[in-house]
Amino acid sequence: MSFAGQTAWITGASSGIGAALAKVLADQGARLVLSGRKVDALEAVAADCGGDCLVLPFETTDIAALAPAVAKAWDWSGAGIDLLVNNAGISQRSLAVETAYPVYQRIIDVDLLAPIALTQEILPRMAARKWGRLAYISSIAGKVGVPMRTAYCAAKFGLAGYADALRAETSVLGLKVHTIYPGSIRTDVSRNALTADGSARGASDSVIDNGIDPLVAAKWMADAMLADEREIIVAEGGEAKMGELRRTPDALFDQVAAMMAAGYAEKMKSEAQQ
């Protein structure tokens, strides 16, 4: 199994997990739409991937930019988008008691509202086609409250909740929804994290520096998506144990969610006929 011949759209594709996923998917023969803010970095990733790549830069929180971006990405290959990976995000390293409220607004805008907005724009197209995968890069901090990350945890927990509800609604349409929970991956996430006043931290953590290689993590994610795993924990050691402790048994959750979705669908259909 592979993503050969499919079109994958990755946000936050200029570095870290996004760039690694681009490489892994390209090696499998996927066409790529690469989005982020830094055009030069996106072009470098595209060159590294080779093959068919569309560099589509935009700011994920620019709501007005989403409709034209979706239209361009969808029409580019002539076959729509098979996989959307909502990866763009920003972390935090500050105590709640010291953190200015605008930091919460910024992180929740980027990590929660932006992927919701992009999904809502592309969802009608996928639903009409009755096929597509939607992936959300949450975090182990989206399962476990982690100190110095109150805004980040709030956003990532919220993203997981949105994905769970969306999965329940769209499974009958043939869509696949994957929530990915990375632990410590060797990226610049700590350097780019916001501090109490909203400035970038500019320094990494030892746990991140000794984390999983991004390409290894990306291959892990791609394989799990191809296996149709709904909840993908990409972590080792204590982080993996924390994630597993908060995992909902897939079969139980999906059965309950499917019954709820079917009930709501029948209710709406009945009301529409009245």
Cβ atoms 81, 7 nearer than 8 A: yes
Q: 140 is written with which tokens?
A: 């182990």
CA 161 to chain centre: 13
104, 136, 152, 162: the catalytic one is 152
Task: Give which of 157, 175, 183 is closest to 237, Cα–Cα.
Answer: 183
Q: How many helices (H) and strands (E) does the chain have?
A: 11, 7
Cβ atoms 194, 94 nearer than 8 A: yes
CA 136/CA 156 separation, integer angstroms = 9
152 catalytically annotated: yes
Say how many CA atoms lie within 13 Å of 99 toward its Cβ: 22
* Dihedral Cα 238, 242, 243, 244, nearest 10 deg: 100
CA 203/CA 240 separation, integer angstroms = 24
**Angle at 221 (CA atoms; ends 212, 228), nearest 5 degrees:** 155
Work out whether strand 53-55 and strand 132-137 pair parallel, antiparallel, or are unpaired: unpaired
Query: Which ranges of the chain does DSSP label H, i.e. alpha helix?
Result: 16-27, 39-49, 63-76, 101-108, 114-129, 150-170, 189-192, 206-209, 214-226, 237-245, 250-273
Residue 109 is given by DSSP the state I
The residues annotated as belonging to the active site are 152
